Amino acid sequence: MSDGFEGSGISSDEIVELRIWYPSMRAVRGHGIGNGNHRVVILNLVGVRSHTDDTKLMYRLLLDLSNFPNSQPSAFVLSPRDEDIKHVNIGNGSFTNLVPNRKVCSICLGGGSASAFTSWPRERLTRMRGFLNHLENVLNTPNTASRARG
């Protein structure tokens, strides 16, 4: 019996279910996987501006789900722009094959987060909700001991 872990990415049905908690989540066209799932999604999450400025702002994020649910997704900031980001756990902008025509900033998720991710129950939505919860925590509680910038 399959547990759904053989298919990478995220299905349209899973996105619909996740929109209950993350209503801005959308699949990015042109980034499908041969199994019918989506490789890339975008969503908005609120976080603080920096470790010295707790002003809330909206981060527009891109998630690479190429190896989800077996591996933790990668997360990138689409907006604000690289030069406007002050959050220590968001790296400097660079080009990726996901967004080849503009710089995006990767988010440092912490050294132990990948092993924690794989220790979570083998249930796709549980892992995605846990990952998104962790991502919100990173955006709202900057860790100066794990700097990705300045």
Sign of CA dihedral 87, 92, 98, 102: positive
Q: 141: closest CA among 71, 61, 64, 48?
A: 48
pLDDT tens-digit series, residues 96-118:
999 889 999 999 998 888 889 99
Q: Pick 12-144's CATH classification: 3.30.950, 3.10.110, 3.40.1350, 3.30.70.
A: 3.10.110
* Domain layout of the chain by residue ranges: 12-144
pTM over 0.75: yes
Burial readout 81-102 (b: 16 or more C-beta within 10 A, e: otherwise): ebeebbbbbbbebeeeebeeee
CA 49 – CA 36 distance, rounded (Å): 37
The distance in angstroms from the start CA to the end CA of the chain is: 49
CA 60 – CA 67 distance, rounded (Å): 21
pLDDT tens-digit series, residues 51-85:
999 999 999 999 999 999 999 999 999 999 999 99
